[in-house]
Structure 1
Amino acid sequence: MSSDQSSKNKKSNPFTIIKDDPLDGDRGYGAGSISLENMSSVIVDPNEDRAFVDMGAMHARSEVERRVKFLPDRDAVPNGKLYWIVWVTVEKGENGPYFSGVCGSEIRVDRSIKRAYKSMPEHVTHMEKSLKGKIIVAHMDEHSKRLLRDFLVDFKGGEMWENSSDELKQALPES
């Protein structure tokens, strides 16, 4: 087998999501990795008045991200429809599960030209801050914040919203 064929047959490992504690055990493979199992991606679509979980966003393959080419310049997509990918982290507290981190990241999609805008550094930063329990939604428009709040309040009967911090409730107030 030639070296070209050999390199094609090798499996790549660009990113691994590790379940449970990545530092449990021998500290070998996976040591220092971040577990994303408590994070979900909620798509807020103010154009259709809806919010929904789409785990495809974890790998940039959500319903709204498919079949478009992303550009790093917002001005390159002047007619793009606004969407938010909200990175929501859930933790378990003394009263039960709650939303610990909630950070919204903008995307703009213009299906007619198959182009979209997304700031990858912003998305990565917001994912990390959500994992650290931060609330970053002040930059979202009021309609989108209302849709997000309604979704979180209704999720699993509202228990998780009730157990969440006052900071989150103040950032997403009732209308």
Structure 2
Amino acid sequence: MSTEDNKNQKRSNAFTIMKDDSTDGHGGYGVGSISLENISPVIIDPNEKRAFVDMGAMHARSEVERRVKFIKDKEEVPNGLLYWIVWVTVERGENGPYYHGVAGSEIRVDRSIKRAYKSMPEHVTHMDKSMKGQYIVEHMDDESKELLGDFLREFDPVMWENAADELKEALPSK
């Protein structure tokens, strides 16, 4: 597969909006389980100045997470490059689909030593808070917030327009 085909394939991994609810009142298997059908991970790479959806992050297999061993201590990856996995939840409101929750989680990757840092509890917490409609981006660096805001605006202007003012204020454009 060519690089261009690979890029096009990644672009086709759009946000998942809403699918049928398996817990629609039947009371059987799966009742009370959490549905991840409306959450998508967006990778922010400030090193290459790019943002993209990478569904592999749902299972810690995103492009930036592959071929490294994760360490719980950030100090053991002092030369790691900064990346963010931003958990973006999409819901459908009365005006149509919108960005319901957005929460960024840090990753540091040092390919030269094949080591990386990420806090799994932070990722799980941020995923949960995104699904609950919270916006947690204040700890991100300005360049990464700008990349994220530009990506969300360009990816789907309608979802951006329908999003809460709180998100728009947290991710201002230039």
TM-score bracket relative to the smaller structure: 0.7 to 0.9
Task: Give the equivalent residue in structure 1 for 2:111.
Answer: 111
Give 1:22 shift: 3.5
Alpha-carbon separation, structure 1, partners of 2:27 and 2:94 = 30
Residue 165 (str. 1) matches residue 160 (str. 2): no
For normalisation by structure 1, the TM-score amounts to 0.86
Moved >6 Å (runs of 4+)? none
Partner of 1:153: 153
Deviation at 1:174, TM superposition (A): 1.8
Q: Give structure 2 stretches of 5+ with no counterpart.
A: 1-18
The Cα of 1:30 is off from its aligned counterpart by 1.3
SS in structure 2 at match of 1:75? helix
Alpha-carbon distance in structure 2 between the residues aligned to 1:54 and 1:169: 23
SS at match of 1:153: helix
Secondary structure of 1:108's match?
A: strand
CA distance in 1, matches of 2:22, 2:121: 24
Matched, 1:34 2:34: yes
Q: RMSD of the alignment, in Å? A: 1.0
Whether 2:46 is the aligned partner of 1:46: answer yes
Indicate yes or no: 2:148 matched with 1:139: no
> Higher Cα Rg: structure 1 or 2?
1
SS of 1:65 mapped into structure 2: coil
Normalising by structure 2, we get a TM-score of 0.87
Q: Deviations over 1:30-86 (max 9, x none)?
A: 121111111000000000000000000011000000000001110010000000000
> In the aligned structure 1, how far is the partner of 2:22 from the partner of 2:122?
25
Offset at residue 23 of structure 1 (A): 2.2
Cα distance, 1:25 vs structure 2? 4.3
* Structure 2 Cα separation of the partners of residues 22 and 131 of structure 1: 17
Cα separation, 2, equivalents of 1:129 and 1:25: 25
Distance across 2 between alignment mates of 1:164 and 1:25: 29
Unaligned residue ranges in structure 1 (runs of 5+): 1-18
1:58-97 to 2 correspondence within 5 Å? 58-97=58-97
> Per-residue CA shift, 1:95-148, capped at 9, x if unaligned?
111101000000000000000000000000000000000000000000000000
Residues 20 and 35, structure 1, Cα contact 8 Å, conserved in 2: no
**Deviation at 1:26?**
3.7
How many angstroms does 1:173 deviate by? 1.1
Secondary structure at the residue paired with 2:138? coil
Equivalent pairs, count: 156
